[in-house]
Structure 1
Amino acid sequence: MVTNQSPLQMNCLTLEQYARHWIFPNTEDSHPERYSSLLPMSLLTALTDVALVLCVADSSTMAPEKDSNGLDNYGFALEGRFRDLPDDDADSSEEEDNNKLAYCVTDVPPWYLCIILGVQHCLTAFGGIIAIPMILSQGLCLQHDGLTQSHLISTIFFVSGVCTLLQVTIGIRLPILQGGTFTLLAPSMAMLSMPEWKCPSWTQNATLVNTSSPEYIEVWQSRMRALQGSIMVGSLFQVFVGFSGLIGLFMRFIGPLTIAPTISLIGLSLFDPAGTNAGNHWGISAMTTSLIILFSQYLRHIPVPCPYYSKAKKLHTTRVYVFQILPVLLGASISWLICYILTKYNVLPTDPAQYGYLARTDLKGDVMAQAPWVSFPYPGQWGMPTVSLAGVVGILAGVISSMIESVGDYHACARLSGAPPPPKHAINRGIGVEGIGCLLAGAWGTGNGTTSYSENVGALGITKVGSRMVIVASGVLMVVMGVFGKVGAIFTTIPSPVVGGMFMVMFGVVAAAGVSNLQYADMNSSRNIFIFGFSMFSGLVIPNWILKNPNTLATGVIELDQVLQVLLTTSMFVGGFFGFVLDNTIPGSKQERGILAWNKAHEDDSSNTLESGEVYNLPFGINSRLASTWLQYLPFCPPSVPRSMEGSGADINALEPKHHLGHPQPAPIILAVPL
């Protein structure tokens, strides 16, 4: 708010600058000439005189802001610039101020801020990234091979970083991070549970396993090569759908009643690994779960004092919402530390036969010593990939689910980063690049694919930093983490009960995220209730029965039996299939089905002032090169801009972004939290 001092007494602005700000509140002090040129000089001078009178009058009637610390002052920013005064409705004004972005998608924060925020995004995604190799290790017979697990973690970090750089650079071009996907985890585990891929009994006994023996290496590498080939072939379908523009055709028939059971059953189908790991010590897993819930739900709005240095205020303390940003990392780290203390003082049992032994932190103590400092993952590091029809068909079901989920993430990311809704060519390119990412993940041997991370999209709303350069920094950091083998080795020492506690929270959130899609449909409709309920129940019953009676699928054709085995034991496919068929065959209006609300939610524009081409066009001058060729008509290429529009000053809003998006707010940001 404005203080009682007259403008003449204010040392931060001159009278003329104050008047210009009163007339053009969204204009930077250092560039008034850009807006001054829009008015005749005589009119501008007259308005300036009037503004001076009104400003002096305003300053004499407004009370000073009490207990102001410079961060909650609407009249002033830390750099001494005047900002918009609040409206009469203080609550709505405060809400609008809280929703403003510090950096929009095209802004470039300082390099040190990019690194800090990039680390934060890596830590936000770490839970989902390391969970996938840990779950896959059970199907790959790697439970007792910590060194190979560390190689898998390093590989998935490396590939996730490469795919993130590709997506931000030539893909959707939004600040969206790429990582492993749970949608491919379900069909992968279904494939590895087939009789021919079940782990030999001797690999389940830690005392009988010699992890360096050729026999053992062939056991897990043969399974990994089968996964690699299936993922690589399945990813070609995603590449084709993306770059051909067919994703738009798919989305016409897919609504909330298809997406809800599909996503929900991903989380529900993973209850077994969550329960198995947590059951190794329910006390430790309950503590981990409780800590994550405490940090993410109860303490998320409580700031933590943290030292901060600025030129204006020197060394001082500021507020950082640590619990809101890193709940999983904090909860797992504290539980990990407690397990280490209990191990050091032999509180946990030392006998492998006793309950709670697996909560010790020294079970894989030699992994840190054996892991190399530097190790470059490369394609085909586990051997030549193999292909099976059953594996490819199962992976295709996961790929389709991943594409649907990513389209929703693109729209959410655009809204939170201050960008216009993504056009068709950008969505096509994003899906195609995700397919390329899955192809690379299969070639490198992660045992998984890549997809957009919803957790990091949500982090944009928390941090108010939507710059894609931050995600570029995250991609580079993940590549570096993948190269340093010790990083992956550290994660393998996490006790399994701690991992189980993490899984219980993470998979529960995945299941709930699927159900949240029902908000678009009319759930007072008996039609919709039936479709969702039947799809969910079928997705649980049928796979469970097939797993208990695997020999009942005997058509006489081995390949067909394998395909049916993989599909019918994948809960996500069964539930999504019934949801898709019933939703598109049972009569119902688009409003009742939730199609209209779903489309409207994806089309709603945020308060952005950026042009679509400014965000989604290809970089490095590729657009200008495509404009003169037939390539501009491809579904994934941006349309050419008429030369008559280039350099046109007709639309001043298109050329000059608003202050709060085009230029960073002058408020300090610590760990991406605008204060």
Structure 2
Amino acid sequence: MSPVKAEDLVPHPCREQYAELDYCITSPPPWITTVVVAFQHYLVMLGTTVIIATILVPIMGGGHEEKAIVIQTILFLAGINTLLQVHFGTRLPAVMGGSFTYIYAAVAAVPFVTLSALGLFYFAFPGVAKCIEIGLPTLVLLLIFSEYASHYFAKGSFVFGRCAVLVTVIIVWIFAEILTAAGAYDERNPVTQFSCRTDSSGLIHAAPWVRFPYPFQWGYPIFCAQDCFAMMAASFASLIESTGTLIAVSRYAGATFVPPSVFARGIGWQGISIILDGMCGTLTGTAASVENCGLLALTRVGSRRVIKISALFMIFFSLFGKFGAILASIPLPIFSALYCVLFAYSAAAGLCFLQYCNLNTRRSKFILGISLFLGLSIPQYFREFETFYGFGPAHTRSLAFNVIVNVIFSSPATVAAILAYLLDCTHLYWEPHVRRDRGWLWLEKFKSYRHDGRSEEFYALPYGMSRYFPSL
């Protein structure tokens, strides 16, 4: 082994932008790559949509036909909201989809065990284990194709480098079809059949050929004060989760840190999206899609154009229901296996910002450790409590108060963000070295849109609108 050189012992320098990209936010790839990667973004978002509809529709008394309509509506609004957010909002290549945060508020008083049985909190490996013979091969193949074949066996391959998700889903889906046709699940219990069979969703026969979602399609809304407060709590938690996802997207898209004014634009359009969702009765709000953030890292394509094409796929498959229903019938363990990898990439994006902090100080270790630990532990307590008792730790005569507390403290991102912010702004804040140790000096120039020339490149409004609305 050669001796260690002095320059090899120098710490890695901090980087404001992610360099391992083939196409960044402003550099679209060739059209074939654009269309294929865009379809993959639609595909991974479809799994979340199906899970949301699978949870909500039976509780509300609906069947396969209503489930198909809800899926179409969510897809249609997700496409519209994604186009609005990418074009006029944050301008980041982020897919906007349904948020699980709203489900608790929508079904409050319903026993939590009902949600647990359908897999609300079982996105990743627990969902894989529901049909291990389908889920595990999906996870293994995706890792082999995306992390090994594309770097070692077939370096630079378009199939494995850009289309690993699509190739994996096609292979395992065919395998699942063969198992279903061969009768491998005919004698299994109903839960296993629901997870493993490719013909158990009932969506293909129930979905209409052509249908246009429209406002008040389920009837006119009924307003209740306590329900409004409950949804406001869900919106607060969803907003925090979306903010973290958008920061991760900016990282994997090759952009700089998002200025506050750009976040304000995104929040404004997210509010409009929530109103549109409420009018059409999806009850899922709109949030930045975590799984699509992971796909940006996996494909190394952070182009804004890709996400716009993906939004068009959502709108097309929502209008022509039969075609979308075929894809929506993919067994959910396949999507769960994809999330094992995609969620991991999204979580890793947050670690990138720790490079600006001094991790050798006791203060930094304390704030990071307690916010991460309690951010996982407190929501777990709320979930276990509700699973056992059928209601949350907040159990008063006010249903609105119960939902507000239970929704907020059941969100790991929300709990961790609140704790980290409060501790960072109070613990030894007056010490002179803290301002540098906490890493905010690196982000000072992004506080204002005009302090960094790259903000115009990544976040400027289209059609010269930034000249007329300089504050945005």
Matched residue, 1:612: 456
1:313-352 map, 5 Å: 320-352=157-189
CA distance in 2 between counterparts of 1:562 and 1:512 reads: 31
- Residue deviations 1:595-623 (CA, integer Å, cap 9, x gap): 23455799999xx999938972441x656
- Residue deviations 1:466-512 (CA, integer Å, cap 9, x gap): 76555443333332122110233123322233233234333444444
1:150-165 map, 5 Å: 150-165=68-83
Q: Cα 1:384–1:400, aligned 2, differ >3 Å: closer, same or farther?
A: farther
Say whether the 8 Å CA contact 1:280–1:496 is kept in structure 2: no
The residue type paired with residue 78 of structure 2 is S
Aligned pair partner of 1:402 in 233, 242, 251: 242
Q: Does 1:563 align with 2:404?
A: yes
Aligned pair partner of 1:526 in 348, 362, 379: 362
> 3-state SS of the aligned residue for 2:253?
helix
Matched residue, 1:179: 96
> 3-state SS of the aligned residue for 1:523?
coil
CA distance in 2 between counterparts of 1:523 and 1:614 reads: 30
Aligned pair partner of 1:587 in 414, 420, 428: 428
Say whether the 8 Å CA contact 2:218–2:281 is kept in structure 1: yes
1:470-619 map, 5 Å: 470-547=306-383, 548=385, 550=391, 553-587=394-428, 589-598=434-443, 612=456, 616-619=460-463
Q: Does 1:105 align with 2:19?
A: no
CA distance in 2 between counterparts of 1:562 and 1:103 reads: 41
User: Residue 197 of structure 1: CA displacement?
Assistant: 6.4
Say whether the 8 Å CA contact 1:124–1:325 is kept in structure 2: no
Say whether the 8 Å CA contact 1:177–1:456 is kept in structure 2: yes
CA distance in 1 between counterparts of 2:394 and 2:259 reads: 45
1:116-135 map, 5 Å: 117-135=34-52
Matched residue, 2:105: 191
RMSD (Å), alpha carbons: 4.2
- Residue deviations 1:541-593 (CA, integer Å, cap 9, x gap): 33333342546534554432332232233333222222221121111513322
Q: Does 1:362 align with 2:283?
A: no
Aligned pair partner of 2:55 in 129, 133, 138: 138
- Residue deviations 1:328-386 (CA, integer Å, cap 9, x gap): 3322222211111112122333343595674122223x531332221111222233345
Q: Cα 1:596–1:148, aligned 2, differ >3 Å: closer, same or farther?
A: farther
The residue type paired with residue 126 of structure 1 is L
The residue type paired with residue 188 of structure 1 is Y
Say whether the 8 Å CA contact 1:194–1:565 is kept in structure 2: no
Aligned pair partner of 1:288 in 138, 143, 146: 138
- Residue deviations 1:27-73 (CA, integer Å, cap 9, x gap): xxxxxxxxxxxxxxxxxxxxxxxxxxxxxxxxxxxxxxxxxxxxxxx
Give 5+ residue unaligned stretches, structure 2.
1-18
> 3-state SS of the aligned residue for 1:272?
coil
CA distance in 1 between counterparts of 2:355 and 2:259 reads: 25
Matched residue, 2:4: none
Q: Cα 1:324–1:567, aligned 2, differ >3 Å: closer, same or farther?
A: same
TM-score (norm 1): 0.55
CA distance in 2 between counterparts of 1:402 and 1:500 reads: 20
CA distance in 2 between counterparts of 1:425 and 1:446 reads: 29
> 3-state SS of the aligned residue for 1:301?
helix
Q: Cα 1:552–1:330, aligned 2, differ >3 Å: closer, same or farther?
A: same
Say whether the 8 Å CA contact 2:138–2:334 is kept in structure 1: yes
The residue type paired with residue 323 of structure 1 is F
Give 5+ residue unaligned stretches, structure 1.
1-97, 206-268, 306-318, 627-631, 637-675
CA distance in 2 between counterparts of 1:299 and 1:377 reads: 42
Q: Cα 1:613–1:501, aligned 2, differ >3 Å: closer, same or farther?
A: closer
Say whether the 8 Å CA contact 1:115–1:474 is kept in structure 2: no
Say whether the 8 Å CA contact 2:209–2:320 is kept in structure 1: yes
Aligned residues: 438
TM-score (norm 2): 0.76
Matched residue, 1:253: none
Q: Larger % of helix: which?
A: 2
Matched residue, 1:81: none
Say whether the 8 Å CA contact 1:104–1:466 is kept in structure 2: yes
Aligned pair partner of 2:151 in 289, 294, 301: 301
- Residue deviations 1:272-296 (CA, integer Å, cap 9, x gap): 3545533332232211111111122
> 3-state SS of the aligned residue for 2:151?
coil
Matched residue, 1:443: 279
CA distance in 1 between counterparts of 2:302 and 2:338 reads: 27
User: Residue 114 of structure 1: CA displacement?
Assistant: 4.1
CA distance in 2 between counterparts of 1:480 and 1:529 reads: 48
Aligned pair partner of 1:391 in 214, 231, 251: 231
Say whether the 8 Å CA contact 2:257–2:446 is kept in structure 1: no
Say whether the 8 Å CA contact 1:274–1:500 is kept in structure 2: yes
Say whether the 8 Å CA contact 2:150–2:157 is kept in structure 1: no
Q: Cα 1:461–1:298, aligned 2, differ >3 Å: closer, same or farther?
A: closer
> 3-state SS of the aligned residue for 1:195?
coil
User: Residue 167 of structure 1: CA displacement?
Assistant: 2.9
> 3-state SS of the aligned residue for 2:58?
coil
Say whether the 8 Å CA contact 2:259–2:448 is kept in structure 1: no
Say whether the 8 Å CA contact 1:137–1:149 is kept in structure 2: yes
> 3-state SS of the aligned residue for 2:51?
helix
> 3-state SS of the aligned residue for 1:564?
helix
Say whether the 8 Å CA contact 2:127–2:332 is kept in structure 1: yes
Say whether the 8 Å CA contact 1:270–1:507 is kept in structure 2: no
- Residue deviations 1:251-284 (CA, integer Å, cap 9, x gap): xxxxxxxxxxxxxxxxxx9753545533332232
Q: Cα 1:444–1:323, aligned 2, differ >3 Å: closer, same or farther?
A: farther
The residue type paired with residue 291 of structure 1 is L
> 3-state SS of the aligned residue for 2:360?
coil
The residue type paired with residue 324 of structure 2 is G
